[in-house]
Amino acid sequence: MIKSKMCVFLLTFSLVFLLTVPVFAAGILVKDGMRGDDVKKVQSLLIEQGYLKGNADGVCGPLTVAAIRAFQKANSLVTDGVCGQQTYKKLQQKQTTAGTAAAPVNKEEMIHKGEAVYVSATGYSAFDPGNGSRTASGTSVRHGEIAVDPTFIPLGSRVYIPGYGEAIAEDIGWGIKGNAIDVAFDTHEEALAFGRQDIEIYILEYA
């Protein structure tokens, strides 16, 4: 009887242990669409290390995913945009290596010649419904110019967009706020093909 009870106890303990281990082993996991304190922790580390701009709002959106990918790429990790145990451990190691957490960089520190900036980019053209053929600067809407929030990227700044080339910030738009840009194309079809992307661009000349 005692032996039977002992077997039941051991079996129950084993099942509880097996069910519990994956929970502890899983650790932190942050991916697109997730919210909460784990997201804030990851965002804070990304901000401190210059991969993400803004505040840690606890929402893992496209910009947070892009920042995770950039960190993974820079540290030879699997570039999937998902912060699991390996990526989180590396983020913590980088923070430890730095000694103390660095203060979030401001615009003047982050945006300078050759500095990478993560933006949400949307293609547009003069032939899109509701668009005009002139920019806010008086130039024509064409390949080689972008629309920006001038409080983030001042008009006249020169940037480089991978896969597109150099462009000048000459236009603004009511729907463009913060780290978002509209990338101009010569045709409506090209703008549609570009669509909307979360990309890394480079400031070549800060006006």
Task: List the CATH number of the domain containing 198.
Answer: 2.40.40.10
Do 89 and 130 share a domain, yes or no?
no
In angstroms, the Cα distances linking 94 to 58, 88, 110 are 21, 10, 19
Residues 125 and 187 in one domain: yes
CA distances from 197 to 48, 79, 143 (A): 24, 17, 17
Specify the pTM: 0.48
Confidence check: pLDDT of 112 > 60: no
Write the CB contacts of 35 (distance below 8 Å, at least 6 apart in sequence).
Answer: 58, 59, 60
Position 97 scores a pLDDT of 57
Q: What angle do CA 106, 109, 113 make, to 5 degrees?
A: 140
Helix (H, G, I), strand (E, B) or coil at 203: strand
Give residue-wise pLDDT tens across range 148-163: 999 999 999 999 999 8
The average pLDDT across 135-154 equals: 93
- For residue 111, pLDDT beyond 70: no
The residue among 153, 61, 68, 147 whose CA lies nearest residue 110 is 153
Q: Is residue 173 part of a domain?
A: yes
* pLDDT for 99 beyond 50: no
What is the average per-residue pLDDT within 79-106?
72
